[in-house]
Structure formats: structure tokens, C-alpha cells
Amino acid sequence: MTDELDTSRAAIIAVHPDLAATTFRPLPGGWHSRAVAVDDRLVFKFPQGEEAERALRREASILASVRPHVTTRVPNLRLHEGEPLFSEHAIIPGEHLETAQYEALPDSAQQQLADTLARFYAELHSLDRDVMAAAGARPVEHWLDADAIAAGALPLLPEALHGFAEKTIAGWRALSPDPYGETYGFFDGHGWNMAFDHAAGRLNGIYDFADSGFGPLHQEFIYSNFISPDLTARIVDGYEHLTGRMLDRARIHLLTGVHRLWELAALADAPEHHATMIASVAAWAARQ
């Protein structure tokens, strides 16, 4: 880790000599990049491999197309070409938002957060598809079909969760296409991608657009269930008011369960992730 940090520091100082005397801190690793915070003001991301480089370029292009059209603050990603390729953006101040923290907020702050997210989604979904495709947006990752989810997830789940899983998989098998089709969206709106000011009780911004793309509209609204179904319900109400699109809450509920089972099935060959994924399934099953 020290060697990697030294390499990153040298690359950053080469383009920012003024940062030589500041503090460099490695951030928790992502799937495809390593990240360094500098002076707790800037973040530099270093992609690992050609696929990660393509993803970083795509994210920068997408953000350039999104940023002028959304009210919520998103990163202003600047690419530094060369060897190595890396990106730079100012840190959006704030912390993650998790369930207990949301539940501790006063009702007014919960509603303000929901209103902010509803507007964010409405603004994203109004973006021109051709423009976003030209910016590099692609279809979001396709979920496994019902049989593949059953084959991958059921053998890993405790018996107590089989009834929930089988009912959810049956619903997935019978689900018709989204009545609103596909849209460009964020598709990652959980609290780990939020910069939330806990002292002020407000959302300062949203980041990590690597998983954004074209997907079924209702799927956009499942990720806030990682924070709270109450938040999701408020977002849906606000979104309907802003857009006039009436959403199917039962569909969102089903898709939430499918998503958690799909994640487990997709990681069936990665036992180091099983406990976390099973706990995620169990948490949602407990909401039934």
C-alpha cells in the first residue's frame, strides 16, 4: 500500500506541484480503481487496467453531460491524461447515510432528503437518450433470470429464507416488462454514494456514476431501500408529483428482493461475500 501511495503521490505532484506539502491519504478501494484523498479537499482516482480506464473516461463524459442539468451537486471529474491516467475532483463534503442515521433524522429532514432525491431522479430521467448514449452511457448490468438466481442463491441461503426467496423468484419469473420502458438513470442510489451533512441534516451531493446507464425505470427506486423503505416511499410520492408518472410500489418492492437475491447468486463463487449478501437478503425478508 505504501508503494502504491508513493506512486500515486508522485503522479499527482507532477501535475500539482503546489500539493507537495499536503497530506495524502489512501481511500477504501473500489472494484476497479484506487483512490487517494489529498488534504481532504481533492480525490484522485487511478484506474487499474484497461477496462477500468475505459470506465473512468466514460464516467467523466457522463458527468459532464449530467452536471448542467441536475440541481443536486455531483462530481466535476477532470481527467489527467498520460501514464498513468487518473482523475481529479473536489471532495463533496459529507458522509454516508445509513439506516440508523436516517431514522434518527427529524421528519422535516427526512422529507427534505426525499424531495431532493425525487427531483434528482426526475431531472436525470428527462435527459435525452441520444445525448447520454453519445456521452458513453450503456445499458446497466442485466440481472440473471429466475432459474439462474434460484440455482445460485437458494443453496447458499438458510432454510428459514427459502420461502421468501422462492416467492420472490416466482414473482421475477412472472414479471412483465417495465410499463415505462428504459431510461437513463443513476441506478445506485444507496447511502454509500451520498455526501450527507449529518450536522445540518441535508444532502450535499451524490457521487459514483460508474453504474449509471439505461435501465428499467422502476429499478431506479430500489436502492434507497438499503437506507429505509420509508425514504423510498417518500421519494416515489415526490417523483410522481414532479413527473406525473404513477409508479407501481409493489413492483419496486419485488425488484428490491430480486436484486438482493441476484447479488448473492452472482457472487456464488465468491464465498468471502456470502455472509454480507445473505444478511442483505435476510434484512429485506424481515420487511415482508
Average pLDDT per consecutive 10 residues, the chain (288 residues; last block may be shorter): 81 94 82 85 92 93 97 96 93 96 98 98 98 97 97 98 98 98 98 96 94 96 98 98 98 98 97 97 95
* pLDDT score at 31: 62
Cα angle, residue 252 at apex, residues 286 and 61 outer, rounded to 5°: 120
Return the C-alpha cell found at 204. 450535499
Q: What's the Rg (C-alpha) of the chain? A: 20
* pLDDT score at 243: 98
* pLDDT score at 29: 57
* pLDDT score at 5: 84
Residues with Cβ < 8 Å from 50, sequence gap 6 or more?
none
Strand order in the sheet with 33-38: 24-27, 33-38, 42-47, 86-90, 78-80
Q: What is the 3-state secondary structure (H, E, C) of the chain?
A: CHHHHHHHHHHHHHHCHHHCCCCEEEECCCCCEEEEEECCCEEEEEECCHHHHHHHHHHHHHHHHHHHHCCCCCCCCEEECCCCCEEEEECCCCECCCHHHHHHCCHHHHHHHHHHHHHHHHHHHCCCHHHHHHCCCCECCCCCCHHHHHHHHHHHCCHHHHHHHHHHHHHHHHCCCCCCCEEEECCCCCHHHEEEECCCCEEEEECCCCCCEEEEHHHHHCHHHHCCHHHHHHHHHHHHHHHCCCCCHHHHHHHHHHHHHHHHHHCCCCHHHHHHHHHHHHHHHCCC
**Nearest partner of 140 among 237, 44, 210, 221, judged by Cα:** 210
Return the C-alpha cell found at 175. 414479471
Identify residue 36 by its one-letter amino acid code: V
* pLDDT score at 82: 86
Tell me the domains of the chain and their CATH numbers. 2-90 (3.30.200.20), 99-285 (3.90.1200.10)
